[in-house]
Amino acid sequence: MPEVFWAILQQNPCLLPDLPALGAAATEFLAKARCGVRAILMVVQQTYGGFLNLNPHLHTSVSAGGLEISSGSWIARLNFDEHEIMLAWHYVLLAYLNEAIKGDVLKSDPSKDELRKILETEGKRPWNSLSNRDQPSIDF
């Protein structure tokens, strides 16, 4: 998640508990749309970094296989594209924050218009999805 969102989440800690469900929804959507399966997911939220600095992010582990929705058969090998996962996370998080702006539930130093501009800008640029390429999990 881009650093620009950290201050927004720090001012709105009530949003933090929703992040794991958003990450899971993005991954579940992609598994269904791309592979036609229900995958097994484990999403763990980490709010602070190693220096006890605010650094909200998710560690998401996805099963290597999944249950094919149409047949109920187990598909042993799934291929998830890192870029597609990041696009799904982009969409879900930006839509969630946009709805929070519309619903007037965000407390923020930037104005609503400035927040919308941040969402627009961040929606156009790539986000880093893997903090360590040697790890099998995907960090949002």
For residues 98-113, one letter each, b for 16 or more C-beta atoms within 10 angstroms of the residue's C-beta and e for the rest, the string is eebbeeeebeeeeeee
Examine the pLDDT at 108 and tell me if it is beyond 60. Answer: yes
SS3 42: strand
Q: How far apart are the first and last CA of the chain?
A: 6
Query: How confident is the model over 104-118, as a mean pLDDT?
Result: 88
Over residues 25-30, mean pLDDT: 92
pLDDT beyond 70 at 54: yes
Asked if 107 contacts 75 with a C-beta cutoff of 8 angstroms, the reply is no
Residue 137 and residue 135: Cα distance in Å, rounded?
Answer: 6
pLDDT at residue number 129: 58
| The pLDDT of residue 134 | 39
**pTM for the full predicted model:** 0.78
pLDDT of res. 130: 54
Indicate if the pLDDT at residue 48 is higher than 80.
no
Domain count along the chain: 1
Q: How remote is the C-alpha of 19 from its chain's centroid? A: 7
Domain of residue 25, residue span: 4-139
| Region of poorest pLDDT, from 23-32, 91-100, 108-117 | 108-117
Map residue 77 onto helix, strand or coil: coil
Tokens of 86: 């990041």
Question: Residue 117 pLDDT > 90, yes or no?
Answer: yes
Distance CA 59, CA 37 (A): 21
